[in-house]
């Protein structure tokens, strides 16, 4: 494997990492379903394990999206280890900020994602993701609001 091939593979995997976060934040079912192999497993500790694209959509539609009015993930510290030319292990940290539906409460969540990626027929996708939540912290007295909501227009 050439250095150029390795860089292209890293870029493709980094896109998968971001695509999962973007898909959940923007509620994009097509993007979310497209990043998992049919036999993939997505485990969120304390919630359960979901299999394949259908499982990812089930988790999003029946657990994650009903939980939040809106949320945004910030992914960082992605570290990739090539196990072989077609298998990569990854670990990364995620900070989620959002507004919960229940109680109209803002929340801060931090997680560590431990991932396995596989290339099949030239395409990289998730084969496994484990999310371990470090903090699930309601932010008392805080509600995230869009810019400008607290400011009256000039002349008002």
DSSP letters for 66-123: HHEEEEEEEEEEEEEEEEETTEEEEEEEEEEEEEESGGG-EEEEEEEEEEEEEEETTE
- pLDDT, the chain, mean: 93
Does pLDDT of 146 surpass 80?
A: no
Does pLDDT of 152 surpass 60?
A: no
The domain in which residue 9 lies consists of 3-142
Domains: count for the chain: 1
Q: What is the distance between the alpha carbons of residues 88 and 10, in angstroms, rounded to a whole number?
A: 9
Asked whether the whole model's pTM tops 0.85, one would answer yes
Q: What is the DSSP letter of 151?
A: S
- 73 carries an active-site annotation: yes
CATH number (domain holding residue 64): 3.10.450.50
Does pLDDT of 28 surpass 70?
A: yes
Residue 155: predicted pLDDT: 56
Out of 19, 25, 58, 93, pick the active-site residue: 25
- 143 carries an active-site annotation: no
- Condensed to tens digits (0 to 9), the pLDDT of residues 94-138 reads 999 999 998 778 999 999 999 999 999 999 999 999 999 999 999
In a domain, 155, yes or no: no
In a domain, 22, yes or no: yes
Contact 75, 104 (CB under 8 A): no
Task: Report CA-CA distances (Å) from 126 to 86, 90, 149, 156.
Answer: 12, 10, 39, 52
Out of 9, 15, 58, 73, pick the active-site residue: 73
Task: Count Cβ atoms below 10 Å from residue 2 Cβ, excluding itself.
Answer: 7
In a domain, 130, yes or no: yes
């Amino acid at each position: 494997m050439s250095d150029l091939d390795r860089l292209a593979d890293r870029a493709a995997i980094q896109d998968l990492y971001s695509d999962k976060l973007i898909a959940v934040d923007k509620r994009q079912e097509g993007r979310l379903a497209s990043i998992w192999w049919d036999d993939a497993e997505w485990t969120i500790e304390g919630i359960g394990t979901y299999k394949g694209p259908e499982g990812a959509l089930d988790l999003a539609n029946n657990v994650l999206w009903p939980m939040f009015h809106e949320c945004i993930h910030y992914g960082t510290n992605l570290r990739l280890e090539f196990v072989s030319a077609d298998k990569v292990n990854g670990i990364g940290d995620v900070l989620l900020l959002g507004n919960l539906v229940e109680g109209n409460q803002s929340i801060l969540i931090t997680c560590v994602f431990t991932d396995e990626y596989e290339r099949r027929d030239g395409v990289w996708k998730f084969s496994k993701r484990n999310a371990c939540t470090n903090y699930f912290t309601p932010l008392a007295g805080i509600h995230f609001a869009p810019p400008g909501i607290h400011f009256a227009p000039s002349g008002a």
